[in-house]
């Protein structure tokens, strides 16, 4: 006998495999229906249809430090959206939490689809608990974009992990993009442990942020970036929280090539880049100096876990051929977790990609 299908069973699905949830579909608001018909992309554009839940979960930042979240797809960062410039995107969003939410597609211009911009009481009603909303728009322009809730952004975005990457590949890549051999997503955020178990609170003036993360994890629970000499890697840096992060890479000079998804007329050579709230920088790094090289936040207290130093926003580049077995090396005896930076998902065909590494534990 088949078990009953619950709302929580309506998990993230991709094109061609969407689950039908009649009770939630019936709850779609009139605002969703008012969002005009299907947006029209470029000739021959793909049409991506996704379904995603918002869930209340608990994630672990590092060690025993956990945090309750409102999580798109039940994970922090949220699932990767990876489409092509001009593609048509349709997302059914089911709110399974106890508070209203929306999605703002940060960087997408919404030409002719302003109702899909995801701002409560401006372009739509907030999606109430138990309700659904369908977003329809064209992925334009190309670049490193992201998506986040726009209800109570001070809490939901700054301290509850309601954000994820939205990568739009260009129809005509720039010459430097054609050189890239590996693509990595790093989303920086900060957390005030005083609010860890208090959903609906936090993100207020005077908060003390004492945990700092890359993709929802603090060092040493981050992962190394493994490369080979001769690789040309693209690091997509996101200011997903409410703070600034001064990202420094040892042993290399990189090129800052894109700002907020848009190519710079002249790339900037640097070894440190300041990433502010909402900003995205794409940097190109040529792997020409074999070794193990630190990547860290040069705002020094961002490299702490609470009151413990040597944590927070830290990781490193590991070159193939460099021994990893020294007993004092942090990652000498730890299992490597691939796709921590969505580097494997970004090599796959366009679509939406959840990641079990980021999955939280449901709060019931």
Distance CA 55, CA 58 (A): 10
Q: How far is CA 361 from the centre of its chain?
A: 18
CA-to-CA dists, residue 145 to 105, 116, 307, angstroms = 8, 15, 33
Residues in the chain: 364
% of the chain exceeding 70 in pLDDT: 89
User: Using one digit for the tens of pLDDT, what is the confidence trace for 202-255?
Assistant: 999 999 999 999 999 999 999 999 999 999 999 999 999 999 999 999 999 999
Residue-wise pLDDT for 287-331, tens only, equals 999 999 999 999 999 999 999 999 999 999 999 999 999 999 988
Mean pLDDT of 48-59: 97
Q: How far apart are the first and last CA of the chain?
A: 26
- Alpha-helical runs (H) found in the chain: 22-26, 30-33, 153-156, 175-178
H/E element, 237: strand 232-239
Is the predicted pLDDT of residue 22 greater than 90, yes or no?
Answer: no
For residues 235-264, one letter each, b for 16 or more C-beta atoms within 10 angstroms of the residue's C-beta and e for the rest, the string is bbbbbbbbbbbebebebbebbbbbbebebe
Indicate the pTM of the whole model.
0.90
Give which of 300, 348, 338, 302 is closest to 318, Cα–Cα.
338
Q: Which residues contact 284 (CB under 8 A, 6 or more apart)?
A: 176, 179, 180, 232, 233, 234, 254, 255, 257, 267
pLDDT of residue 38: 57
Q: Answer positive or negative: Cα dihedral of 57, 186, 221, 355.
A: positive
């Amino acid at each position: 006998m088949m078990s009953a299908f619950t709302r929580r069973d309506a998990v993230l699905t991709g094109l061609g495999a969407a689950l039908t949830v009649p009770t939630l579909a019936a709850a779609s608001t009139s605002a969703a229906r008012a969002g005009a018909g299907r947006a029209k992309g470029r000739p021959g554009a793909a049409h991506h249809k996704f379904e995603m839940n918002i869930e209340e979960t608990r994630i672990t930042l590092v060690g025993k430090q956990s945090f309750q979240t409102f999580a798109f797809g039940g994970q922090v960062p949220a699932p990767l959206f990876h489409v092509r410039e001009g593609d048509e995107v349709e997302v059914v969003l089911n709110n399974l939490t106890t508070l209203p939410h929306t999605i703002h597609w940060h960087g997408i211009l919404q030409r002719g689809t302003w109702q899909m911009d995801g701002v409560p009481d401006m372009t739509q009603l907030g999606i109430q608990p138990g309700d659904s909303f369908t977003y329809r728009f064209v992925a334009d322009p190309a670049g490193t974009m992201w998506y986040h809730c726009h209800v109570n952004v001070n809490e939901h975005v700054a301290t509850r992990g309601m954000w994820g990457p939205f990568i739009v590949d260009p129809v005509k890549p720039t010459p430097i993009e054609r050189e890239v051999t590996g693509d990595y997503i790093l989303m920086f955020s900060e957390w005030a442990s005083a609010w860890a178990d208090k959903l609906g609170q936090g993100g207020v003036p005077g908060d003390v942020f004492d945990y700092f993360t890359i993709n929802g994890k603090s060092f040493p629970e981050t992962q190394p970036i493994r490369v080979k000499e001769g690789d040309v890697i693209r690091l997509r840096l996101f200011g997903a929280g409410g703070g600034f992060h001064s990202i420094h890479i040892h042993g290399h000079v990189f090129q800052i090539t894109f700002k907020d998804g848009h190519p710079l007329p002249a790339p900037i050579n640097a070894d440190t880049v300041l990433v502010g709230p909402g900003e995205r920088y794409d940097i190109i790094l040529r792997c020409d100096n074999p070794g193990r090289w630190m990547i860290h936040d040069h705002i020094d207290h961002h490299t702490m876990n609470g009151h413990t130093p040597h944590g927070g926003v830290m990781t490193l580049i590991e070159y193939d051929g460099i021994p990893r077995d020294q007993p004092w090396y942090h990652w000498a005896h730890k299992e490597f977790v691939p796709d921590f930076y969505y580097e494997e998902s970004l090599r796959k065909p366009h679509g939406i990609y959840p990641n079990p590494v980021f999955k939280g534990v449901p709060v019931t």
